[in-house]
A and B are shown apart, each in its own frame.
Chain A
Amino acid sequence: NAGVTQTPKFRVLKTGQSMTLLCAQDMNHEYMYWYRQDPGMGLRLIHYSVGEGTTAKGEVPDGYNVSRLKKQNFLLGLESAAPSQTSVYFCASSYSLRVEQYFGPGTRLTVL
């Protein structure tokens, strides 16, 4: 099993450009999450999904959109990237609430 995978691993964008980060899991988990990690700020939840076709806002949702069209995939979109969105993005999944989350390897995004 690959677990949780993320595409791409690294990306550099110019301000105003758009992009989509892809998260995939092969564990048949219902719950999926997108976090951003900034130095000294820990992990902050952007959006999450409690099942196929559902999404919900986390702590820091502004500037991001998500979609969960298939159970195994969770997409994070940036419509108009800003330098404040420079960060490391982690995807995670879990089979339920209040259980272990399995994280992907992360995507390092730089917005110039």
Chain B
Amino acid sequence: GENVEQHPSTLSVQEGDSAVIKCTYSDSASNYFPWYKQELGKRPQLIIDIRSNVGEKKDQRIAVTLNKTAKHFSLHITETQPEDSAVYFCAVQGDDKIIFGKGTRLHILP
């Protein structure tokens, strides 16, 4: 079955710097790659997603890049702000079940 690896598990960046989180997957048939943000004590919420026919997608300070050949995709957050502190989950889905990564806890340092 599908296997998703997410790195790093914890990331601390200075406010204003960029953060990058990477996920790798095993099933080449997977074609949908969402990213969810979960603030402390809250429910996960979608922040951006990408499909396999696109290499990059951007939404203001957030971007996702996909390398289908290497089977990895990354979340990029630029000009980080205190409200970006949260746990971020990548996920992978093909024609069947969705599989989530184990999450990255992002700390924005003042």
Contacts and interface: CB of A to CB of B under 8 A. Distances in A.
Interface of A: 33, 35, 40-45, 48, 58-59, 90, 97-98, 100-101, 103-106
Given A42-B100, A43-B100, A59-B99, A100 B44 contact: no
B103 A98 contact: no
Given A42-B101, A100-B46, 20 more contacts: A33-B98, A40-B9, A40-B102, A40-B103, A42-B6, A43-B89, A43-B91, A44-B100, A45-B99, A58-B97, A59-B99, A90-B43, A97-B93, A98-B32, A101-B34, A101-B46, A103-B44, A105-B42, A105-B43, A106-B43
B43 A59 contact: no
Interface of B: 6, 9, 31-32, 34, 42-46, 49, 51, 89, 91, 93, 95, 97-103
A42 B51 contact: no
A45 B6 CA distance: 17
11 contacts: A35-B100, A42-B6, A45-B100, A90-B43, A97-B32, A100-B46, A101-B34, A101-B98, A103-B45, A104-B43, A106-B43
A57 to B, nearest CB: 9
Nearest to A56: B97
Nearest to A104: B43
Contacts, number: 47
Specify the main secondary structure of chain A where it touches its partner: loop
Main secondary structure of the interface of B (DSSP, over half): strand
Contacts of B99: 45, 59
A105 B38 CA distance: 11
Nearest to B90: A42
